[in-house]
């Protein structure tokens, strides 16, 4: 008899079954074997929950590291968060529980500590910011009530106040706040649903030692196989599932697929039988957004060192319009700039040198030509990353919360999807990914 562990052993392509060869077993009733695709927060959370409940779990990960879109790079001397940067709403947030478990130091980023500058270097007066924020809040309330089905946010704004986006500061705000939050351009966002996520309370925090510290408790004891890019998921007629990677095939009773929405949309993984129409249509309607970050390290600061955020009113609007000042929580002279809205695809098509030059143009417009070149930098290109093809899911015009909920529904009692794109209330966040992974694991625990 083949052990439960055997169920999960690799079946090398073309190998012959035998005593000395790779073990292969047909999953049978009673097996508690699960394959998890992807070692990001969702996949690790699912695997850890299942492992603790006595299941045999193997995680198949395409890349050579855990974390997925939670990825800390320390090359510049301070932790640069390539993907997720903040625990949004830390109170009651399960990511805070993980951070506390590893003793991670958190720093509250102060949204009010903001200096916004016009392109010519003139500071936008605080009163103008406050007025624009109030106007934005008011019009978003109207959009919430009056946006039509399938209408984009930009179309709704234009219909309700045709001059609203002509004001440079308001346009900056819609980009630096809304396009960043959602990872998508106003033209693509759903007017009905763009701001419907629920949030945990509390001001956002960052982990000064690096966000990736939270991965340790999730990954502890979990069997992750790296370099295993999944190409197909086949639901077996008899029982269970066969998952094929570039390296071979694996079988188990259940599979949890946490491939990001961008990967699924690209058709990198094929499903046999094809996914139910409800799942496929939901994926089509949902949007996968983009955000580009650039980390710039300087010899000395040329910006106000105590100000948390530097806003720059740029053209086009999503171009390096918001910078996080690392001097507020590290001793490094670092700025992390963001491109959002339609601009990430422009920025990510540039070479590294071009991207740095582009960000420096914006900074020199605001702070003067004497601003020196950075001594080191780090760029990101999430839109091109084959492990995500984008930053995070967003409510595209024409989509609805039902689409995220549909994706979270099990297929044939064997295949489950998890990941931020299956958690409407907390989509685009690490805690959304965590909660979705745990929910998928719980479904299997109840079903087995
Ligand atoms: C620029 C940026 C900024 C962000 N900022 C924040 C923030 O401040 N706060 C916040 O809470 N969230 C933020 N997020 C979102 C957050 O990072 C994600 O929601 C969360 O990390 C997603 O976790 P996941 O497990 O769903 O997916 P992922 O982390 O993407 O995990 C999926 C895993 O699957 C693997 N994979 C992909 N394809 C295959 C395949 N075919 N076979 C095998 N493995 C595969 C990938 O390599 C990856 O490891 C940000 C994201 C980005 C990109």
CB distance 68 to ligand 1 below 6 Å: yes
Please indicate, yes or no, if residue 76 is contained in any of the structural domains.
no
Q: 304 is in which domain, residue-wise? A: 112-202+290-391
Together in a domain, 189 and 245: no
Residue 130, classified by CB atoms within 10 Å of its CB into exposed (0-12), middle (13-18) or buried (19+), is exposed
Together in a domain, 261 and 224: yes
Please indicate, yes or no, if residue 17 is contained in any of the structural domains.
yes
Residue 388, classified by CB atoms within 10 Å of its CB into exposed (0-12), middle (13-18) or buried (19+), is buried
Together in a domain, 154 and 176: yes
Please indicate, yes or no, if residue 136 is contained in any of the structural domains.
yes
CB distance 420 to ligand 1 below 6 Å: yes
Please indicate, yes or no, if residue 83 is contained in any of the structural domains.
no
Q: Which of 373, 391, 409 is the last residue of a domain?
A: 391
Q: What is the pLDDT of residue 198?
A: 84
Q: Which CATH number do you get for residue 264?
A: 3.50.50.60
Together in a domain, 387 and 298: yes
Please indicate, yes or no, if residue 294 is contained in any of the structural domains.
yes
Atom 50 (ligand 1) nearest CA: 84
* DSSP string for 310-335: EEE--SSTTSS-EEEEGGGTSSS-EE
**What are the per-10-residue average pLDDT scores of the chain (448 residues)?**
39 31 55 96 98 96 98 97 98 98 97 94 96 98 96 98 97 98 98 92 97 98 97 95 95 97 98 98 98 98 97 97 98 98 98 98 96 98 98 98 97 97 97 98 97
Together in a domain, 373 and 283: no
CB distance 88 to ligand 1 below 6 Å: yes
Q: Which helix (H) or strand (E) holds 33?
A: strand 33-37
Together in a domain, 350 and 245: no
Together in a domain, 330 and 418: no
Atom 34 (ligand 1) nearest CA: 38
Q: Which of 363, 391, 419 is the last residue of a domain?
A: 391
How far apart, in Å, are the Cα atoms of 237 and each of 7, 99, 164, 428? 16, 43, 57, 35
Q: What is the pLDDT of residue 238?
A: 87
Together in a domain, 321 and 370: yes
Together in a domain, 373 and 332: yes
Find the 436 Cα to ligand 1 centroid distance in Å.
12
Together in a domain, 376 and 348: yes
Together in a domain, 362 and 433: no
Please indicate, yes or no, if residue 188 is contained in any of the structural domains.
yes
Q: Which of 369, 391, 413 is the last residue of a domain?
A: 391
CB distance 290 to ligand 1 below 6 Å: no
Please indicate, yes or no, if residue 81 is contained in any of the structural domains.
no
Q: Output phi, psi for 407, to 5 deg.
A: -60, -25
CB distance 258 to ligand 1 below 6 Å: yes
Please indicate, yes or no, if residue 10 is contained in any of the structural domains.
yes
Find the 5 Cα to ligand 1 centroid distance in Å.
28
Q: Is the peptide bond before 273 cis (omega within 30 degrees of 0)?
A: yes
Q: What is the pLDDT of residue 8?
A: 47
Atom 49 (ligand 1) nearest CA: 68
Q: How many domains is the chain built from? A: 2
User: Model-level pTM greater than 0.85?
Assistant: yes
């Amino acid at each position: 008899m083949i052990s439960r562990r055997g169920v999960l052993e690799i079946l090398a392509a073309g190998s012959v079954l035998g005593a000395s060869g790779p073990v292969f077993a047909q999953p049978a009733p009673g097996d508690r074997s699960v394959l998890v695709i992807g070692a990001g927060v969702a996949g690790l959370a699912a695997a850890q929950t299942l492992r603790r409940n006595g299941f045999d779990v193997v995680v198949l990960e395409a890349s050579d590291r855990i974390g997925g879109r939670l990825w800390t790079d320390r090359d510049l001397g301070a932790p640069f968060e390539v993907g997720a940067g903040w625990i949004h709403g830390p109170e009651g947030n399960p990511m805070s529980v993980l951070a506390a478990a590893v003793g991670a130091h958190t720093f509250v980023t102060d949204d009010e500590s903001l200096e916004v500058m016009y392109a010519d270097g003139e500071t936008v007066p605080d009163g103008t910011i406050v007025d624009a924020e109030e106007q934005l809040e008011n019009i978003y309330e109207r959009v919430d009530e009056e946006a039509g089905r399938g209408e984009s946010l930009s179309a709704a704004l234009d219909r309700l106040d045709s001059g609203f986006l002509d004001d440079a500061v308001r346009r900056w705000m819609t980009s630096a706040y809304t396009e960043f939050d959602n990872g998508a351009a106003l033209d693509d966002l759903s007017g009905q649903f763009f701001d419907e996520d629920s949030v945990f309370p509390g001001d956002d925090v960052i982990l000064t030692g690096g966000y990736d510290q939270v991965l340790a408790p999730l990954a502890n004891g979990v069997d992750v196989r790296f370099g295993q890019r999944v190409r197909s998921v086949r639901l077996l007629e008899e029982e269970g599932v066969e998952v094929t990677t570039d390296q071979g095939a694996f079988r188990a009773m259940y599979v949890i697929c946490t491939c990001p929405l961008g990967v699924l949309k690209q058709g990198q993984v094929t499903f046999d039988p094809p996914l139910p129409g409800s799942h496929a249509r939901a994926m089509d309607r949902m949007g996968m957004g983009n955000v580009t970050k650039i980390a710039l390290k300087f010899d000395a600061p040329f910006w106000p060192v105590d100000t948390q955020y530097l806003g720059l009113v740029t053209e086009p609007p999503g171009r390096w319009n918001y910078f996080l000042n690392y001097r507020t929580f590290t001793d490094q002279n670092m700025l992390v700039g963001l491109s959002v809205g339609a601009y990430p695809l422009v920025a990510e098509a540039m070479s590294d040198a071009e991207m740095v030059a582009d960000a420096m143009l914006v900074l020199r417009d605001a702070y003067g030509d004497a601003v020196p070149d950075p001594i080191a930098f780090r760029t990101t290109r999430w839109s091109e990353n084959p492990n995500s093809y984008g930053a995070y899911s967003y409510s595209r015009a024409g989509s609805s919360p039902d689409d995220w909920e549909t994706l979270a529904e099990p297929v044939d009692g064997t295949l489950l999807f998890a990941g931020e794109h299956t958690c409407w209330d907390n989509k685009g966040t690490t805690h959304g990914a965590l909660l979705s992974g745990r929910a998928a694991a719980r479904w299997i625990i109840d079903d087995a």
